[in-house]
Structure formats: C-alpha cells, structure tokens
Chains A and B, each alone.
Chain A
Amino acid sequence: MREEKIHQYRAEWSEAEQGKWGLVVDQDLCTGCQACVTACAMENNIPFVGEEDTAYGRAMHWIRLERFWEGEYPEVKATPFQAVMCQQCGSAPCEPVCPVFASVHSQNEKLNVQVYNRCVGTRYCANNCPYVARTFNWRDYDRPEPLNNQLNPDVTVRRRGIMEKCTFCVQRIRMTEDQARADGREVYDGEIEPACVQACPGEALVFGRIDDPQSAVSKRMKNGRAVKLLEELGAQPRVTYLKGGA
C-alpha cells in the first residue's frame, strides 16, 4: 500500500508511530476546574513559585489549562479548555538539542525522559519544544514548614537551574509494573493512573497503552473528534485531544 511505502521511505530510526503510553483529553468533558493541575503539583513536588514570579510567567505547573475566547464583549464566546502537558513526542525536538544528554528517549517506556541530575540548564530543550511544555527552576523556592510534609517521597526534588516537565507520572508506571511483575501478571488496562487522570472529576483524561488496540485509550483515539496538537510539525505527540463541541 502507498502508506506502507511512505513508512519505509521515512527514516528507519523514528519510533513507530504508535508509541507505548498515551493520553486522551476529552475537551467536551473538561470543566476547567484545575484539579489536574493541583494533583500534578502535589504528586510531583512542584515548587510554589510565589506571586511575583507567577505574575512574570514563571509558574512551574507541568500541566496547564489553556482557555481562549472569541469575539468582543458582550458577544464573547469561550472555547473549550485545553489541558496541555508534555506530549511525550516520539520524535521529540527537545531531545537532540540538549548538549549533555539530559533529555533522552526511554526505550522501555517510549517516553521522553528528563534526567534532573544531568541538566546544566542551557534551556535549549525548552526553546525547541513547540508545545512550551517544559518549565525551569528559576530559583530555589522555599517550602516553609509544614509544607515540606506533603512532599512525595517517590519523586526527586529539583534545585535551581534544572529543567523539568510532565513525565506521565513515570514513578506510578514503574511502581505498578513492578507490582504486576511481582504478582506474576500483566498490568491491566486502567490500573495506572497519573495524578491528573486520577484527580479529574469529569473523567476527561484517559491514560493507557496506545499500542494495545483494546485499551480504553486506543478506543477513544478512534473517535471522530480526535486531533493531535501541531501534528504537522511531525513530533509524533502521544496525547490526543477530542475536540470540544460548539
């Protein structure tokens, strides 16, 4: 078939279009409540940047809720909320540009991996990310007592000068896979839920194996509303958005 021919013509090194882990965001179900943002911050020890730095745009949330509106007041029409996080691209533009290999591709999980203790803070990866999904530790942000008690022991705490981004809660993926291996079984679909997926009250986020056509994620990806962000750039994002209605 013609598509296969194109596949073979394309470089043999690019990851198979499928990938392994994927996310679906249903923009019709999303209410914009930001529970995902909060849950992510709690799960991943994201620092509290403070009022002044946030106003300047340095908020460090790994997932952000984009909202736009059309028209002039009073005929303003709000558009569906758009939750944007690291798209874990198969052909990630952030990876080749890091001079010290701090942003690399995991062969096992087929995710984009940010190695905190290798990052020297050149921020080229962030400039090259078309989704602006990466955040930088501009300072060492305080966690005054008793705030430090809510830190998640499964996730490293980062210091100033390091780049970070959404990992699809890889700590949960690894823990669940380890547990499944110990139990002598496969991970079943829906067992792994990143923090944002777990927290969403409207169940707008679905996570799972996109290389398994029977998983909940794969089934939702076949929806007629399914689009990918900036697909034409060829970064092969693993996040699918179900377009919101009128």
Chain B
Amino acid sequence: MTEKISLLALFPDIDPAAQAVEKLRGMGLTDDDMNVISGTPATEAMLGRPHQWSNVPRLALGGALGGFLIGVFFAFGTPYLYPIEVGGQPLIPVPPSVVVLFEMTMLGLLVATFLGVFLDSRFPSYAPKEYVPQISDGKIAVFFECPVEKRKKITDALAALGAESIQPAEAQKL
C-alpha cells in the first residue's frame, strides 16, 4: 500500500490556510486526511471545510430532560415516598414544584453541555499529539496525511501559497 506521511504546514493567516486546504483537496487528499488547528476559532465556512457536527446540543437537551426528571422526583416523588404535612399547603404544592423543576432542568442542561464538550473532544487527553506551540501564537496549522510520493509536490505548492514551515508532524507531549 502507499506509504503515508503526516505533515504539518504553518500559515500566518486564514486566507493562505484556506487556499492551502483547497489546493490539497485539488491534489487528491480527502477532507478526512486534513485537520486545521488554530489559535482562534475559524469557522468551517471560512476555511472551506465540511460542516462539523457536534453532539453537544443533543447532549444538552438530554441533560435538560434528565435534570427535569430529577426535579420531578424531588418535587413529586419525595412527598409521596415520605409524606410530611406542613401548614396550609397541599402535600405537593404547585408553585414550589415549578421552582424545583426549573432549577433542576437548568442544572441538567448546563452540566450536560459542559460534559458534552469533554465527551465530544475526548478531553482530557494527555497522550502525545501533533502540535506546535506557534499555533497558540496565532498561526494556523494544516495537519494532513499524504502519500510519500506526493510529498515534494505538495510541499512546493504550499510553500508557494505562503506556508512558513512544512515539517513532518511529530506526536509530542503537549
């Protein structure tokens, strides 16, 4: 099989990076072979990348539902399990139940959103990764896998677009 090599190309700005992505696609690399790493978020539209699906909203809704059910248990379940009469209010009063339901729903929503980020991004992960510190200084890195024989051609093309450096990507401890 064709041997592949991982390369990391560093660009100073979004424009050359987006052009590079297009160039690479033109040279036969699929979107899955590429990854763009940046210090500020650049939308997939700006970079010409396919739409990124995120599970976070769905997890958030699931969390809200879970929180709601916990709220139902607190407000409606506990008085049935352990009924204690207090002055002048029914065993399960409506206004306090609304408060409890609301708070637990919001808690579920927010905790699930937070944990959703962890789940989707596979945080925390301390394994060695392909990264260069210049990325947090504002550079945009295009990390891609290409067949070895195309390496020279791709390197020249990206250099022509303004890549500051094109190095083999080494997975290192962050």
* Interface size of B in residues (CB-CB distance below 8 Å): 8
A14 contacts the other chain (CB 8 A): yes
Contact count band on A: 20 to 34
CA distance in complex: A89, B87 (Å): 8
A11 contacts the other chain (CB 8 A): yes
Q: Which residue of A lies closest to B89 (CB)?
A: A96
What does DSSP make chain B's interface, helix, strand, loop or mixed? loop
The A203-246 residues at the B interface (CB cut-off 8 A) are: 234-236
The B105-136 residues at the A interface (CB cut-off 8 A) are: none
CA distance in complex: A13, B90 (Å): 5
**Residues of chain A with a CB closer than 8 A to B1's CB:** none
Q: Are A96 and B86 in contact (CB under 8 A)?
A: yes
B91 contacts the other chain (CB 8 A): yes
| Count of chain A to chain B residue pairs whose CB atoms are closer than 8 Å in the complex | 42
A112 contacts the other chain (CB 8 A): yes
Q: Which residue of B lies closest to A105 (CB)?
A: B85
B41 contacts the other chain (CB 8 A): no
How far does the Cβ of B93 sit from chain A's closest Cβ, in whole Å? Answer: 8
A47 contacts the other chain (CB 8 A): no
The A1-50 residues at the B interface (CB cut-off 8 A) are: 11-14
Q: Are A107 and B88 in contact (CB under 8 A)?
A: no
How far does the Cβ of A11 sit from chain B's closest Cβ, in whole Å? Answer: 7
A92 contacts the other chain (CB 8 A): yes
| A interface residues with partner B (beta carbon < 8 Å) | 11-14, 89-96, 98, 101, 103-105, 107, 112, 234-236
| B interface residues with partner A (beta carbon < 8 Å) | 84-91
